[in-house]
Chains A and B, each alone.
Chain A
Amino acid sequence: MSSFLLRRLGGAVFVLLALSIVVYVTFYVAPGDVAQIACGPRCSPVQVAQVREQLHLGDPLYTQYAHFVQGLFAGRDYSTGTGVLHCQAPCLGLSYQSDQQVTQLILAKLPATASLAAGAFVLWMLLGVGTGLLSVWRRGRATERVLTGITLAGMATPVFVIGLLLIIVLVTALQILPFPDYVPLTDDPEQWAWNLLLPWISLALVSAAPYARMTRASMLETLAEDHVRTFRAYGVGERTIIGRHALRGALAPVIALGALDIGSMFGGAVLTESLFGIPGVGRELVDAVKHVDLPVVVGLVLVTGFFVVLANAVADILQAAADRRVVLA
C-alpha cells in the first residue's frame, strides 16, 4: 500500500511538472506579444519595453520557466518600478489585470467552487445511485425502460440548457427560487444554501446520469454471478441480495467515478458558475481568458490539474479499499 502511494505520488509530481511545462510553453510561445498583452492595448512601445524588462519576458524561455518554478517552491520578488513586491511560495505570479498575486486570487475563489461542488455532489450521488437502484429493483418492467430513457436524456443535456430551462420555470414563471446570488457559508448558512439550490439542482441533474448507468450495470453484473445464484438457492430474499450484495459490488466503481468528478469540479464547474454568476474558480478562468491574463490562466490550469491528479489517486485507493479484488500494483 505504502509503496503504491509513493509511486503514485511520484507519478503525480511528474504529471504536474509536465503539465506546467506544456501550459507554459503553449501560452508563452503562442503568437502574440506577451509584453504587449500584459501592458494593455493602449501602451506605447516604450511602456511595452519597460514591462518586458520588469517581467523578464526578454529572457530565454527556459530561464523564464526556471523563475516560475523557483517562485512556486521558494517565492520570488517582483520589481514594481518603485519598490519590490515579494510573492510568497507557492507563487504563481502576478495577475496582469489586477497585479494581485495569483495564488491569493485562486484561494479567494475556492470557497464558492467548493460550495457548489459539495452540494451538487450529494444531490447527484443520491439521484444517480437511487435511479440505478430503482431500475435494478424494477428490472424487466416498464419502470426500468423509462428510467433508462431518462438517464440517456440526462447524459445528453448540457448543463446550460437544463439551467436556462430551470431559470425560466422556477425563477421567472413560478418564482419559487431566487436567481442565485452567492452568499458565503460563513456569512449566512441559510441564504448560502437557498441561493445555491438552483445551481445544485442543475448540476446534479446533468451529472447523475453516468452514476445511474454505472450503478445499474455493476449491480446487474453482480446479480449474474454464481455466488448470488447460491444465495438465491439458499432462499435469501431479493431485498437482501440487492441491498447488501449487489449494491456493494456497485459501490467501488461509483465511488471511483465520484472522486474523479469531484476532482474535475474543483477546477471549476465553468459552465454552471458562468450561467449562475457564482464567483468561483471556473468563472475566474473565463474572465482571465477573456482578458488574456496569462499568469492567472496558467495558475488555474495548474491548480485544476493538481486536483485532477489527486482525484485520480484517491479514486484508485478508494476502489481498492472498497473492493478487495483490486490490487494496487
Chain B
Amino acid sequence: MAEALLVKEAGSVTVPASGARPFWRRLRRRRSALVAAVVVALLVLVALAAPLLSGIEGQNPTAYHPDLVDSATGGVPLGSFGGISGDHWLGVEPLTGRDLFARVAYGARVSLGVALGATLLQVVIGVGIGLSAGLGNRFVDQALSRLTDVVVALPVMVIALGALAVVPAGFPRPVLIALIVGLVGWSGISKIVRAQTLALKSLDHVAAARLSGWGPWQIARRELLPALAAPVITYAVLLFPSNIVVEAALSFLGVGIKPPTPSWGQMLSDADTWYQAAPTYLLVPALLLFVTVLALTVLGEGVRTALDPRAESRLRIGTRSKKEAGA
C-alpha cells in the first residue's frame, strides 16, 4: 500500500529532536493538527468511557430488542433514521435491534486498542531488528535484511487471513489481531532505523563513544536511540491509522473480530446487505471510521512537520510569491 511512501517520508525526518517543548509549540501552531488532536481525544474518551456512556443511555451492546425492528420487512428498524430516539441515540441494528450507539462506542475500544497494541509491537520489533542490523557485523546485517525482505513480501492481509483460520477459536480475537498485525508490519520501521543507524554510526560522537570502549548496547541506548526518536515517532504515528484500517478490513472480511464483540469493520460488512433499507446502519460506522482515520492521519502529519520543521520550508523554497503567480 502506501508503505513505501511512509518509509520515504518518515525516513527523511533526520533532524535530531530538539527537545519536547519546541515540538509542542510547533504542533500547536498548526490549526489542523489541533483540531485533529481534539477529535482523537474525544474518540479515546468515548472508547474508555464506553460502559459509562452506554450506561447513561441505558443500553448495552449485546441486548436484543426484537420489538424495535419490523418483522414484516425482515427486520428493518422501526421509526425514522434507523430508529433514532432518546433511548437509542443512533438507532438500532436491523434484524437484532441491538443498540447502535453502545455498539459503536464499544467498537471504538476494539479499533483503537488493537491498533495501539499492533503499533507498539511494530515499533519494538522494528527498532530492535533495525538497530541490530545497523550495528551488527556484515553477517548479522545480511541475515536481518533478508529477513526484512521476507516480511515485506508477506502481505499482512494474507498472513492475517491464514493465521486466523488455524488459531483455535478460544483465543481472544482482538489480542490475536494485534499480534498478527504487529508481527507482520514492522518492516518499514526496521528499514528506517537500519538506514539511520548506518548513517549515525559514522558520526564523530558515536565513533568517540566506540573508541572509549562502549559496547554496542550502550551506544544504542545513549547515542542512537535519542536520534532515532524523531523518525520512529513520525512513522509510528502514521502507521497507527493504517493499523486501524487493517483491523477494520479484516473484520469486514469476516476473519477479524468475531460477534458478539462489536467492531466497526464487522458492522460495515453486516450493513453491506442493509444499505437500502437501513442506510443509517451503514453510515454510522463508515463515518466514524473515516473521521477516526482522517483525524489520526492529520495529527500524524502535524507531528511529522513539528518534528522536522525543515521539511515544509525546504519544499517552500521554490514557491512563487502571490505577485509572481499573477494573483
A interface, CB within 8 angstroms of B? 11, 14-16, 18-19, 22-23, 26-27, 30-32, 139-141, 152-153, 155-158, 160-161, 164-165, 167-168, 172, 209-210, 213-214, 217, 220-221, 223-224, 228, 238, 253, 256-257, 260-261, 264, 267, 270-271, 274-275, 285-286, 289-290, 292, 294, 297, 300-301, 304-305, 308-309, 312
Contact = CB atoms under 8 A, between A and B. Distances in A.
B301 A220 contact: no
B152 interface: yes
Interface string B57-95: 000000000000000000000000000000000000000
A102 to B, nearest CB: 14
A163 B167 CA distance: 31
B9 to A, nearest CB: 8
Interface of B: 1-2, 4-5, 8-9, 146-147, 149-150, 152-155, 157-159, 161-168, 241, 245, 248-249, 252-255, 265, 268-269, 271-272, 275-276, 279, 282, 286, 289-290, 293-294, 296-298, 301, 314-322, 325, 327
26 contacts: A15-B149, A18-B146, A31-B166, A32-B166, A152-B297, A156-B241, A156-B290, A156-B294, A160-B249, A160-B268, A161-B268, A164-B272, A164-B286, A168-B282, A214-B8, A220-B318, A220-B319, A223-B318, A257-B4, A286-B254, A289-B164, A292-B165, A297-B161, A301-B162, A309-B149, A312-B152
B146 A15 contact: yes
B252 A160 contact: yes
A267 B9 CA distance: 25
Given A141-B325, A141-B327, A301-B162, A221 B315 contact: yes
Nearest to A31: B168
A160 B248 CA distance: 10
Given A32-B168, A140-B322, A164-B271, 19 more contacts: A26-B159, A30-B167, A31-B166, A32-B166, A156-B241, A158-B248, A160-B252, A172-B275, A213-B9, A223-B318, A257-B5, A260-B4, A261-B1, A275-B272, A285-B158, A286-B161, A290-B254, A301-B154, A305-B153
A226 B137 CA distance: 39
A161 B286 contact: yes
Contacts of A156: 241, 290, 293-294, 296-297
B294 A153 contact: yes
A210 B154 CA distance: 21
A270 B154 CA distance: 14
A224 B255 contact: no
A309 B164 contact: no
A289 B165 contact: yes
A304 B294 contact: no
Contacts of B322: 140-141
A14 B153 CA distance: 12
B166 to A, nearest CB: 4
List 7 A-B pairs, minimum CB-CB distance, nearest first. Answer: A223-B318, A30-B166, A224-B317, A156-B294, A156-B293, A220-B315, A210-B2
A309 B5 CA distance: 18
A253 B8 contact: yes
Contacts of B272: 164, 275
Contacts of B253: 270-271, 274, 286
Contacts of A210: 1-2, 4-5
Contacts of B159: 26, 301
Contacts of A22: 150, 154
B106 to A, nearest CB: 20
